[in-house]
Every structure is written in C-alpha cells, then in structure tokens.
Amino acid sequence: MRSSGAVRPAEARGVPTLEQVAELAGVSRSTASRAINGGDRVSADAMTSVRAAVAALGYTPNRAARSLVTRRSDSIALVVPEPDEFALADPFVIGILSGLSSSLADSDVQVVLVIARPGQAERTARFLRGGHVDGAIVVSHHRGGDLDPALVNLSLPHVYVGRPLIGNGAAQTPPQYVDTDNEGGGALATRHLIGRGRRHIATIAGPADMSAGIDRLNGWRSALADAGLTADAAVHGDFTLAGGRAATHQLLDEYPDIDGIVAASDLMAVGALAALAARGKVVPRDVAVVGYDNLGVAASSQPPLTTVVQPVVAMAAAAGERLLDLLAGGAPREPQVFPAELVVRAST
C-alpha cells in the first residue's frame, strides 16, 4: 500500500507528460521534445501536430529539463550598480522594472534583480557568466566603476538603459543602449527659464561619472551660451532629495542672486524646493525651479514641478525588446534615443 506522502509519477497524478504529447501527436518522444524546445530539426507537419497535442492536453514543459536541452535559463538580469538603499527606493529603478515587465509580458522570460554593490563587481560578474541568466539590462551605469571591466568583457548579450560611458574594445561594438535626449532636455529646461525672464540660472547637475549628468549639464551650458548668459552657478548632486537640498544651500551661499534652478532630477528639484523654503525664498517668485524625470513626485510636490519628461517605462520596454531580439539571434542595432519634452507646472 502506497503511503499518503509518496510522490506519484506525473501520469498517475493526471499531469500530462511528454510521452502523452508524443503519442497524441504521432511522433517520437525526442521529436516532441525538440518541437517544444525550439523546433530544431523538426518538420512543419510534426511541429503543427505537437503544438496541437500540447494545447489539447494542457501540457507545460518542465523548465529544468528544458534548460538542459536549450542551455537557456529563460531569465535575464536587471543590473543596478548602486547601493541597496538607492536602488530599492529610486523612482527611476521602479519605472525600469515596470517597463521591462511589460516588454516581457508575452514571453516566458523572468527578470532577476542584481544589485551590483560597490566593491562586489567580481561577484556580479561571476553570476552573469555562470549560466543563471541569458542576458542583462544595465541601468545607472557609472564610468570607471569596478563593474566596468566585467561589462566590457561580458560575452553575455546585454543592453544599457542610458548611454554607457565605456571605453573602446567592448565586446558589443557599438554598445547596445536606449536613452533619452539628455542634452536636449537640459537645454529645453534652461530655455524655458530664459523665456520666463530669468537671467541668473543655476543648475544642480547629476554625477559627473554618468552620461545623464554630463549631458544635462552640457545642455544647460549651451542654452545659456546661446542666450549670452553666464554659466557659472553649477553644483553636482547625486540624484537624491538630500543631495538636491545640500546643493541648493551651496548655490545660495555662493550665488545669492540666482533666480532659476535647473535640477538634473525631480528628487533633487524637490530637495531644492525644501532648501529654498528654508532660506525664505518663494517659488517661483524669487527662484523658478525645473526638474527632470516626471516620474510622479513632480506632480505632487509643493508647488508642482515643471519638469523634463524622461520616458523611463518606454525606455525600459524598448531595452527589453532589444535584448529579446539579440537573444533570438538578431543583429545589433543603432541606439534608440527618445526626444526631450517639457511639462510646465507651477514651479516656473
């Protein structure tokens, strides 16, 4: 007599088996397996019969067995080279997860979040090379970080969200990435303040080791130069609320006559609003403020922020689609860059 806790074969439990699929389709077990796992060396008629049998029986392939056949994990990594507290709280990363999930909705591919903590690049590289994932999406890339060499030499298909600041000789030439027009966005924000009559416009730039920080700063400079205005009031921040608050206090100490601030992220812009209020400045009467992202906090701040749209969800979806195409054998493509767009609210 079988004990109640014994494990029964799948067929005895009523779960469809590969053998039943093969029998119903009128093909061998090996042909059924190949048809289910990609169709290699399977005729069109056999493929049609196997698909019909799978649908009729409600058969679900065993993922572990399938991975042995295909050498695929059906997983991709979302690599975030940031400390835990930043990666898990940043609206940008949350938007990336949302967009990536939407691009993978019609596939069996799962997303594995990999937080590449500073100083642990080799551990991250071992994971990426170890067959745990088929490809990777890399966000928040910093130039010169300890993860750089691993990414340059990574043979695993990977796509960046944001233009990567990596040297020549990368495994992918050119690097595969999607981005937004950061320089155009920085210029658009600055021209908006110029059009509002502001003449001493400061910026809270992003980190100098990230393309978004560099490009948005260049856009601010170019717009001021075109208008014949001085580009002297610049402080770098770290894309956080606290960083924006500290940078604003520094700007007010060094340039007390500023009448506009272009912040390279909405979180830094909200930090700027808090610092301005603490210094008795009224927004936008005394100082007008523009952010960058439009990820939610902009509309709920007081006053609501004028901001440049960064279409994070669409960017992540495009990156996911590009990676799936690479995994299917598609050729590398030119970078995809989304245009800059301004949403005007009460802060200006």
Q: What is the CATH number of the domain that holds 85?
A: 3.40.50.2300
- The CB-side HSE value for 310 (13 A sphere, CA atoms) comes to 26
Residues 305 and 214 in one domain: yes
Residue 83 belongs to some domain of the structure: yes
Q: In what order do the strands lie in the sheet with 135-139?
A: 110-115, 75-80, 135-139, 158-161, 177-180, 336-338
Residues 194 and 275 in one domain: yes
Residue 212 banded pLDDT, cuts 50, 70, 90: very high
Residue ending a domain, choose from 70, 98, 133: 70
DSSP string covering 202-238: EEEE--TTSHHHHHHHHHHHHHHHHTT-----EEE--
Residues 152 and 119 in one domain: yes
Residue ending a domain, choose from 40, 70, 100: 70
Residue 62 banded pLDDT, cuts 50, 70, 90: low
pLDDT in tens, 224-277: 999 999 999 999 999 999 999 999 999 999 999 999 999 999 999 999 999 999
Residue 7 belongs to some domain of the structure: no
pLDDT exceeds cutoff 50 at 8: no
Separation CA 111–CA 183 (nearest Å): 31
Residue with tokens 């990368």: 170
Q: Are 50 and 21 in contact (CB under 8 A)?
A: yes
pLDDT in tens, 142-179: 776 667 777 777 778 999 999 988 754 444 467 899 99
Which one of 8-12, 95-99, 262-266 scores highest in mean pLDDT?
Answer: 262-266
Residue 94 banded pLDDT, cuts 50, 70, 90: confident
Residue 137 belongs to some domain of the structure: yes
Residue 24 banded pLDDT, cuts 50, 70, 90: very high
Residue 39 belongs to some domain of the structure: yes
Identify the pLDDT of residue 296: 85
Residues 303 and 189 in one domain: yes
Separation CA 133–CA 109 (nearest Å): 10
Number of independent structural domains in the chain: 3
Residues 167 and 97 in one domain: yes
**Residue 92 host element (H or E):** helix 91-103
Residue 5 belongs to some domain of the structure: no
Residue 87 banded pLDDT, cuts 50, 70, 90: low
Range of the domain at 81: 75-178+313-338
Residue 38 banded pLDDT, cuts 50, 70, 90: low
Separation CA 271–CA 262 (nearest Å): 12
Helix (H, G, I), strand (E, B) or coil at 299: helix
Q: Is 230 exposed, middle or buried (0-12, 13-18, 19+ CB in 10 A)?
A: exposed
Residues 81 and 56 in one domain: no
Average of per-residue pLDDT across 9-20? 64
Average of per-residue pLDDT across 111-137? 85
Q: What b/e readout covers 183-211, taking b as 16+ CB neighbours within 10 angstroms?
A: bbbbbbbbbbbbebebebbbbbbbbeebb
Residue 68 banded pLDDT, cuts 50, 70, 90: very low
Residue 13 belongs to some domain of the structure: no
pLDDT in tens, 329-346: 888 899 999 999 999 999
pLDDT exceeds cutoff 50 at 3: no
Q: Which residue has the higher pLDDT, 125 or 119?
A: 125
Identify the pLDDT of residue 40: 61
Q: How many residues does the chain have?
A: 348
Listed in sequence order, the residues at least 6 apart from 247 whose beta carbon sits closer than 8 Å to its beta carbon are 204, 235, 236, 237, 268, 271, 272
Separation CA 81–CA 79 (nearest Å): 6
Identify the pLDDT of residue 84: 65
Residue ending a domain, choose from 26, 47, 70: 70
Domain containing 57 — which CATH number? 1.10.260.40
Identify the pLDDT of residue 107: 77
Residues 247 and 142 in one domain: no
What are the φ/ψ torsions at residue 321 (nearest 5 degrees)? -65, -40
- The CB-side HSE value for 136 (13 A sphere, CA atoms) comes to 29
Average of per-residue pLDDT across 63-76? 60
Residue 345 belongs to some domain of the structure: no
* pLDDT averaged over every residue in the chain: 86
Residues 217 and 284 in one domain: yes
Residues 280 and 210 in one domain: yes
Residue 12 belongs to some domain of the structure: no
Question: In the numeric block, which tokens belong to residue 231?
Answer: 């580009």
* Residue 285 Cα to chain centre, angstroms: 36
Residue 122 banded pLDDT, cuts 50, 70, 90: confident
Residues 153 and 300 in one domain: no
Q: Are 327 and 135 in contact (CB under 8 A)?
A: yes
Identify the pLDDT of residue 176: 92
Q: Are 51 and 86 in contact (CB under 8 A)?
A: no
Residues 234 and 274 in one domain: yes
What are the φ/ψ torsions at residue 177 (nearest 5 degrees)? -155, 160
Residues 174 and 317 in one domain: yes
pLDDT in tens, 276-334: 999 999 999 999 999 999 988 999 999 999 999 999 999 999 999 999 998 888 888 99
pLDDT exceeds cutoff 60 at 5: no
